Amino acid sequence: MSTAPPTASARAALDFVESGQVLGLGTGRAAEAFVRALAERVARGLSIQGVPTSERTAQLAASLGIPLLTLEEAGRLDVTFDGADEVDPRLDLIKGYGAAMVREKVVAASSDRLIILVGEEKLVDHLGQRGRLPVEVIPFGEALARERLHQLGFKAELRPDAEGQPLVTDNGNHVLDCQVSALKRPGEIDRTITLIPGVLDTGLFVDLADAVIVQRGAEVEVRRRNAA
For the domain 8-124+206-227, what is the CATH code? 3.40.50.1360
Amino acid at 144: L
pLDDT at residue 23 greater than cutoff 50: yes
DSSP for residue 192: H
Active-site entry in 32, 86, 104, 142: 104
Three-state secondary-structure class, residue 187? helix
Per-residue pLDDT tens over the stretch 194-215: 999 999 999 999 999 999 999 9
> Any catalytic annotation for residue 73?
no
Contact (CB, 8 A) for 94 and 189: no
- Phi and psi dihedrals of 212, rounded to 5? -125, 125
Which CATH number describes the domain made up of 132-203? 3.30.70.260
User: Per-domain residue ranges for the chain?
Assistant: 8-124+206-227, 132-203
Q: Which of 124, 137, 125 is nearest to 193 (CA)?
A: 137
pLDDT digits (tens, 9 = 90+) for 56-113: 999 999 999 999 999 999 999 999 999 999 999 999 999 999 999 999 999 999 999 9
Inter-residue contact 135 to 203 (CB < 8 Å): yes
